[in-house]
Structure 1
Amino acid sequence: MKICFPAAKLSGLDSEVFGHFGSAPGFVIVDTESGSVEEISNGDLHHAHGMCQPLKALGGRPVDGIVVGGIGMGALMKLQAQGIQVYRAMEGSVRDNLAMWRQGKLPEFSANWTCAGHHHGGGCAH
């Protein structure tokens, strides 16, 4: 299974999981079967709020899951429509969150946790 973790600074498994999918500068993709780790830049970093194109952000790389602290409703729905499971990250590194995912301790993201924006009174659950 390939799992993607948004990150502010790309440092492999030691990368801190970023608080928001669409504005993450980069992503760490971990293949849980082979143990390989890939780092990529966000290909959709400069999008208008609510216009995130998650598959463009990932440069077309296929993933089975996303572990993130926050995500907008549009991006969440686009990912889920592609069969990609989205999990709510806890604070810490990719390594920490990967361990929690393996233990079944990360909940699947629900619509009521999504970001309504960071400006003009919008709120986030992260």
Structure 2
Amino acid sequence: MRICFPVAKGQGWESPVYGHFGSAPAFMIVDTESGQLEEVENADLHHAHGMCQPLKALGGRPVDGVAVGGIGMGALMKLQAQGITVYRAVEGTVKDNLEMLRDGKLPVFSADWTCAGHGHAGGCSHH
């Protein structure tokens, strides 16, 4: 399985998971079978609010899941329409969140948790 984690900066397994999908500067994609990590720059970083194109952001790389602290409704729906499961990540590193995902401790992202807007720091207004 290939899981994507939005990150501020690629630091391998110790990369802190970023609080919002669309404004994340980069993504760490983990292949859970091989343990291989791939860093991908966000190819859709400068989109208008509500116009995130998540598959473009990932540079067309295939993933089975995304683990993120915050995401807008449009991006959530676009990922789900492609059969990509979105999980609600917690503060911590890629390694921390992957362990929680493996242990079944990251819930599937609910529409009730989606972001309604962005604050001045680029994060979700509800964080």
Provide TM-score, normalisation by structure 1.
Answer: 0.95
CA distance in 2, matches of 1:17, 1:72: 16
Structure 2's unaligned 5+ residue stretches are none
Residue 43 of structure 1 pairs with residue 78 of structure 2: no
**Cα offset, 1:125, TM superposition:** 4.3
What is the letter of the counterpart of residue 21 of structure 1?
Answer: F
Q: Which residue of 1 aligns with 2:101?
A: 101
CA distance in 2, matches of 1:61, 1:90: 24
What is the letter of the counterpart of residue 97 of structure 1?
Answer: N
Q: Which residue of 1 aligns with 2:12?
A: 12
What is the letter of the counterpart of residue 63 of structure 1?
Answer: V
Residue 3 of structure 1 pairs with residue 3 of structure 2: yes
CA distance in 2, matches of 1:106, 1:125: 19
The share of aligned pairs that are identical, in percent, is 76
Q: What SS is found at the alignment partner of 1:90?
A: coil
Q: What SS is found at the alignment partner of 1:14?
A: coil
Count of aligned pairs between the two proteins: 123
What is the letter of the counterpart of residue 91 of structure 2?
Answer: E
CA distance in 1, matches of 2:125, 2:77: 16
Provide TM-score, normalisation by structure 2.
Answer: 0.94
1:1-126 matched pairs, under 5 angstroms: 1-118=1-118, 124-126=125-127
CA distance in 2, matches of 1:29, 1:97: 12
Structure 1's unaligned 5+ residue stretches are none
Q: What SS is found at the alignment partner of 1:13?
A: coil
What is the letter of the counterpart of residue 8 of structure 1?
Answer: A
What is the letter of the counterpart of residue 113 of structure 2?
Answer: W
Indicate conservation of the 8 Å contact 1:114/1:125, yes or no.
no
Indicate conservation of the 8 Å contact 1:117/1:124, yes or no.
yes
CA distance in 2, matches of 1:56, 1:22: 11
